[in-house]
Structure formats: C-alpha cells, structure tokens
Structure 1
Amino acid sequence: MSAPADRVLVRGLRLWAHVGVLERERVTGQWFELDFSLGCNLSVAAAADALEHSLDYSLAIQDLQRQARMIRCLTLEHWSDQIFSLLEEIYGDVPIWLELRKCQAPVPGFCGIVAVQRSRRWPT
C-alpha cells in the first residue's frame, strides 16, 4: 500500500514545552518544532473550493499550541503519542505522519537536531 496521494502538511510549527529527561528542561521549558501530515482526499475540497471538505489545519495548530503549554513529560516519544491523540480527536482515524524535533538538545558539543518520526495508519 502506498502513502496517501493527498495530504495536508504543516511544517515548522514552533512550540514551547516542558519536555525532557533533565529536570531543568521540564522546569524551564524549551523550543520544539513539529511537522505533520494528515492523509486525506482533497479532490472534493479542490473542486468545490470549500474548507468543509478539507482538514482545517488551523484547528490543529491552535490545539497543539495549547497542548504544548500544558504538557510535562520526559520524552519526545510520549509527547508524540499525545500529539497523535489530539490530532485523532480533531480529524478522526486519518493517516498521520509526524516529526517532532528538540531544537537544542542538552548534549555537550552537539549542535544538531534530535527528533522522533512516527506514523499512524500511514503506509510505508
């Protein structure tokens, strides 16, 4: 099975959250960045030029910002599960792919990006 031909994609959603293994990460908070895709058929929305036939990404952005302000956990893996749950509450059982990045991992001498990539119902 192949990935959905149509998708709504959000890239570079910056979120401030209290997530990390180190206590100071959970107390102080830090920036994260999220990309996500929602698989769907966009042909009706395209033909009708009607948002009600698409997936309104603004709902996800607002709810994810709210979730990020409230979450307290150790791992990106746990937070990504919470993101899946939130997106499923909004859009139902659509295929979802996400990448959640920690913008500044607290590893001495490391300036790269740490991330998890996960999917639900997204064919590989």
Structure 2
Amino acid sequence: MDCIQLTGIRCYGYTGYLPEEQVLGQWFEVDLTLWLDLTSAGESDDIADTLDYRHAIEKVKQLVKTSKFALVEKLASAIAATLLQLEQVQQVRVLLSKPAAPIPDFGGQITIDITRAR
C-alpha cells in the first residue's frame, strides 16, 4: 500500500502528567505515516484523488493545542483515531515526541510510536 509521510509537525500543547504541564504547556512534535491508495492521484494529477494533507496537519495541530490529557499515549491515540476518520486513510502511524520532558537530569526526548488501522 502507498503512504504519505508528514514530518516535523511542531506545536504547543497542554498534555502531561504533571499539573504544571497542563497549565504552562510545552512543545510537541508529530511525525505521521498515512497509508492509502495513491494510484488514481498518480494517474490523474488531481488533488481530489488523494488526501489533501493540509487537512491532516491542521487536525493534528488542533488536537495538540486543545487537548489536556494526562498521558501522551492518549494524545497519540486521539490523533490516530481522528486521522482514521479521513475517508482515504486505511492505516496511520503516529510518532509523538516531547522534546523537553520535565524530568530531572534527562536531556533526551520522549517519543510514543503507535500504528492503528481501520
């Protein structure tokens, strides 16, 4: 199956286990792989025959900006469920990262990696 990859979707959100994360917020980064059939679009050169990925990006940004979940796992699952509602999308992979998780003496990032299908 074909796929569209969208990487580096960066936005500010309020998901986190600590109360201050839901008040002060933090940056999140999202990478997506969306599986769908691109055969028609490859032949027609018509955007109506593919997924307009601007809509997918906007849906991700809206979820990250407005959600106040305790767990990033919940946010990643909500992103996947929302994108699977798009007619063309058969399967989605969501990589959701917290580049600056508030963990003492930890300079890395936390990434959740989930794949969901219809």
Q: In the alignment, what sits opposite 1:20?
A: 16
- The answer to whether residue 71 in structure 2 is matched with residue 88 in structure 1 is no
- The answer to whether residue 56 in structure 2 is matched with residue 60 in structure 1 is yes
- The answer to whether residue 27 in structure 2 is matched with residue 45 in structure 1 is no
Mapped partners of 2:87, 2:57: distance in 1: 13
* Alignment-mate amino acid for residue 29 of structure 1: G
Count of residue correspondences: 118
- TM-score, normalized by length of structure 1? 0.88
**Moved beyond 6 Å, runs of 4+:** none
From 100, 104, 112, give the equivalent of 1:104: 100
Identify unmatched segments of 5+ residues in structure 1: none
Mapped partners of 1:56, 1:62: distance in 2: 11
Q: In the alignment, what sits opposite 1:7?
A: 3
RMSD in angstroms over aligned alpha carbons? 1.6
- TM-score, normalized by length of structure 2? 0.92
Q: Quote the sequence identity (%).
A: 28
SS in 2 for 1:91: coil
SS in 2 for 1:68: helix
Identify unmatched segments of 5+ residues in structure 2: none
